[in-house]
Structure 1
Amino acid sequence: MADVHDKKTRSYNMSQIKGMDTRPEMIVRKFLHAHGFRYSLHSKKLPGKPDIVLSKYKTIIDVRGCFWHLHKRCKFGDQVSTPSEKITSRRESAVERDRIKVAKWKEKGWNVIVIWAECELEPRKKYSEGREVNLNGLLKNLKNLKNDNPGK
């Protein structure tokens, strides 16, 4: 099936899709900072330049968009189909890259927490109960990691 946009319009639309400092990522960063966590961003020392790195907890937080990373059983993820073969192949390659990155991080001894942007953070809503539940779950998870490593 042909694309609904001409090549120039499609190119412009695709160029506007951000990879860093996205709204979902900012939500997580502000939450962590407000709760006293300090982190680094997009560390070039680690494969794939992870979104958020908490060195003290040896933890990586990867914020993924449900559409681009084919979140399973998600109305924003794998349940969305696109007629464009190019977009479909990009989505599939993103999943493969994610799998490789997570394997490399775990091989180096890092804990990996994946947060799904659209369904867990609901960035389009000003306030979301689901977002609060998920972020508080993240907080609990990080506190458990700290208790597992009391020397740090």
Structure 2
Amino acid sequence: MSRVRSRDTKPELRVRRLVHGMGYRYRLHRKDLPGKPDLVFGPRRKVILVHGCFWHGHNDPNCKLARAPKSRMEFWGPKLTRNRERDREVRDQLIESGWEVLTLWECELGDGPALERRVKAFLG
């Protein structure tokens, strides 16, 4: 588990390249915000969270990346459940403090044009 990255993951880098290419500027992992969001657009009061489907427990039935592990369920079950709870708490805290939140899932990043439209609609 020590090799699992919490920042600069492939999905996060893909979103960062796309957003930067669209001309938007952002800050990374601001420590003064709950959960240290992946991309922070300060003047707009908006954040983008990039979630890996496995680690954050994407519960979309069409997502092939969020399969539950078959071994050591006594370890993985509570861990992944707690990750989902933490994500909900962080999202709620950000919204309560006046931030708009967009969550992008790893499985959604394959369709570049759709992703770009979604980000553009969110950022304005």
- Amino acid in the other structure paired with 1:138: V
CA distance in 2: counterparts of 1:59 and 1:52, whole angstroms: 9
Name the residue aligned to 2:29: 42
Q: Where does the alignment leave 5 or more consecutive residues of structure 1 unmatched?
A: 1-13, 123-129, 144-152
CA distance in 2: counterparts of 1:137 and 1:48, whole angstroms: 22
- Bigger-Rg structure (1/2): 1
* Aligned partners of 2:11 and 2:50 also within 8 Å: yes
TM-score by length of 1: 0.74
**Identical residues among aligned pairs (%):** 38
What is the number of equivalent residue pairs in this alignment?
120
Name the residue aligned to 1:21: 8
Give runs of ≥4 in structure 1 deviating > 6 Å. none
CA distance in 2: counterparts of 1:45 and 1:17, whole angstroms: 23
Q: Where does the alignment leave 5 or more consecutive residues of structure 2 unmatched?
A: none
* Aligned partners of 2:57 and 2:81 also within 8 Å: yes
Corresponding position: 1:115 with 2:107: no
Give the one of 61, 76, 79 matched to 2:65.
76
TM-score by length of 2: 0.90
Higher relative contact order (CA 8 A, sep 6+): 2
RMSD (Å) for aligned C-alpha atoms: 1.2
